[in-house]
Structure 1
């Protein structure tokens, strides 16, 4: 039978509370923990020993600046997570840090910090390798199945082919690819991959994939384009039948703050100007949006868009003339 101590809580509840405190910050003194738990310093020492017997590594240092500190252990401790769960949780939090955790982002960051403090070294290496297969541009995004992200991240890391169903106007709907990077936009997740059936680079929306599976066939990595830039240009420019390139007389950082990442690619030209690349079904929309940015600009491509700009300018001038 569990006994109560101090504030009347059972031993198990108190030990779990102690574990939570140790996960909240780097180091606690014995008196601080005793005060927070409402018990004696001797009870704190006993509870620390209970955590150690459960598999948690708790370091203790005496003297000034000393105290109790939770450290990584040789195994994932009992009552926490097994290897697969720990990796999946850590990577989900890592990839969510770019914006998928909304509303309570601080809670997600605290959870990741707690998990990182108790991950064994072998799992930290795997989490770091998986996170290295992820890039992003933009901000928050719609969530996708973390199991799919894990499968694709592992395939990127291990350099093995991946297969998945993907809706397309030209068969086959089943794709066979060499996966290279996961890229997060401010709306969706994408996979940058080399499409083996089309013999070219492609970006795929992860939320449209079906029956995603990593294969056992390893590939020799090709020289790939810059992942985030390639995917962003595909989303903002290549996906549309009409593309435009404009010179804007304002710093690139200023314009990026005004233009959503999925709407245009902003490339610096010098400290005072930049180029905007954008696509649309109707390029008049691009002209209107750029004009509303409030900066001087010049149409670079296509030439017919410059003529269209002059016609619109004449129409706007006429609309503002005295009746």
Structure 2
């Protein structure tokens, strides 16, 4: 279900109730004040709309005190309005496949929709979805390391509810460590899934590949949200630079919008340096290959560093000059 609303004027009662339902499905707990602010109405109107949802069969609970508020729970059957049991199972199976697929932009949206559906789905329907998934094999070479949908769901719920996570993690060298994490956001590049999390033992932010995580466990305890870095930018920097031996810094004589057309978010980070220039950071294990890769953008650029990449560009330029002159 898709609902729309306007921040500057109160919606009609019907559309407001649909908005309210969408909000309750998107997060575990909402206070009355938060709902009133998002809907642009009074607390009294929120209470009336909650009663309307209950009359429609939605199990909305209310609790007082610290951490209390309104919460949409799972009932003995799927709440009426959208899906019957067979449709819910079919949709959940499709969303699981889409969440682990390779179609750009679909995986993240599918995961959000699956998270909403999973929150109100009765346990007996969840077991049917799991049975279908366990009995299904997908023949596809992409992505190379698919992520278990149950891991995706566990992490998505933990990000939403600010719940501690414990997991094993295998690094690039094959070393396995145990991590205690505060998960914040999932990011997909289309090929792989990553988690932005605060590592409690290392006391710093980390990006983790989901296909390298093992025995992911939600601890059942919650944490207070920290001021987090931008997830997309942080993970883009991590995967475009940190795995490589040589990290080049380059200034292109072209706009960031133009240069961004030639790099994927997983290959480089791009920052505007005025309207007609930008700074790019990218990495590789071979400086000559990196220099050639940077030259493929098709505009003038200056290599700021490091010296190995500058030398690699000079060597590659001389080789190309000899090739262009027929070896002379």
**Coarse TM-score class (shorter-chain normalised):** 0.5 to 0.7
Deviation at 1:253, TM superposition (A): 2.3
DSSP-derived class of the 1:81 partner? helix
Q: Does 1:208 align with 2:215?
A: no
Q: How many residues align?
A: 225
User: How many Å separate the matches in 1 of 2:238 and 2:287?
Assistant: 17
1:160-179 matches, cutoff 5 A: 160-168=163-171, 173-179=177-183
Which residue of structure 1 lines up, in the alignment, with residue 153 of structure 2?
150
User: How many Å separate the matches in 2 of 1:94 and 1:308?
Assistant: 41
Deviation at 1:96, TM superposition (A): 6.3
Is the 2:255–2:277 contact (alpha carbons within 8 Å) kept by the matching residues of 1?
A: yes
1:249-288 matches, cutoff 5 A: 249-288=253-292
Which residue of structure 2 lines up, in the alignment, with residue 299 of structure 1?
303
Is the 1:247–1:275 contact (alpha carbons within 8 Å) kept by the matching residues of 2?
A: yes
Which residue of structure 2 lines up, in the alignment, with residue 73 of structure 1?
80
Is the 1:166–1:209 contact (alpha carbons within 8 Å) kept by the matching residues of 2?
A: yes
Which residue of structure 1 lines up, in the alignment, with residue 61 of structure 2?
none
Deviation at 1:160, TM superposition (A): 1.3
Deviations, residues 193-230 of structure 1 (Å, cap 9, x unaligned): 11112221111111111111111221121111110111
Which residue of structure 1 lines up, in the alignment, with residue 226 of structure 2?
222
User: How many Å separate the matches in 1 of 2:322 and 2:219?
Assistant: 63
Gap change, CA 1:253 and 1:100, over 3 Å in 2: closer
User: How many Å separate the matches in 1 of 2:249 and 2:303?
Assistant: 7
DSSP-derived class of the 2:228 partner? coil
Gap change, CA 1:94 and 1:311, over 3 Å in 2: closer
Gap change, CA 1:81 and 1:145, over 3 Å in 2: same
Q: Which one of the candidate residues 157, 162, 182 is aligned to 1:159?
A: 162
Is the 1:245–1:276 contact (alpha carbons within 8 Å) kept by the matching residues of 2?
A: yes
Which residue of structure 2 lines up, in the alignment, with residue 132 of structure 1?
none
Is the 2:288–2:315 contact (alpha carbons within 8 Å) kept by the matching residues of 1?
A: no
Which residue of structure 1 lines up, in the alignment, with residue 316 of structure 2?
312
Gap change, CA 1:185 and 1:79, over 3 Å in 2: closer
User: How many Å separate the matches in 2 of 1:193 and 1:214?
Assistant: 14
Unaligned runs of 5+ in 2: 1-55, 58-78, 122-141
Gap change, CA 1:92 and 1:193, over 3 Å in 2: farther
Deviations, residues 122-177 of structure 1 (Å, cap 9, x unaligned): 859xxxxxxxxxxxxxxx95642211111001111111110111124597622111
Is the 1:178–1:219 contact (alpha carbons within 8 Å) kept by the matching residues of 2?
A: yes
* Structure 1 stretch displaced more, 240-249 or 263-272: 263-272
Deviation at 1:236, TM superposition (A): 0.8
DSSP-derived class of the 1:173 partner? strand
Deviation at 1:237, TM superposition (A): 0.8
Gap change, CA 1:294 and 1:172, over 3 Å in 2: closer
User: How many Å separate the matches in 2 of 1:259 and 1:167?
Assistant: 27
DSSP-derived class of the 2:201 partner? coil
User: How many Å separate the matches in 1 of 2:147 and 2:234?
Assistant: 21
User: How many Å separate the matches in 2 of 1:298 and 1:263?
Assistant: 18
Gap change, CA 1:78 and 1:234, over 3 Å in 2: closer
User: How many Å separate the matches in 1 of 2:190 and 2:165?
Assistant: 25
Is the 2:105–2:190 contact (alpha carbons within 8 Å) kept by the matching residues of 1?
A: no
User: How many Å separate the matches in 2 of 1:254 and 1:167?
Assistant: 37
Deviation at 1:246, TM superposition (A): 0.4
* Structure 1 stretch displaced more, 160-169 or 184-193: 160-169
Deviation at 1:291, TM superposition (A): 1.3
Superposition CA RMSD, Å: 3.8
Which residue of structure 2 lines up, in the alignment, with residue 194 of structure 1?
198
Gap change, CA 1:87 and 1:162, over 3 Å in 2: farther
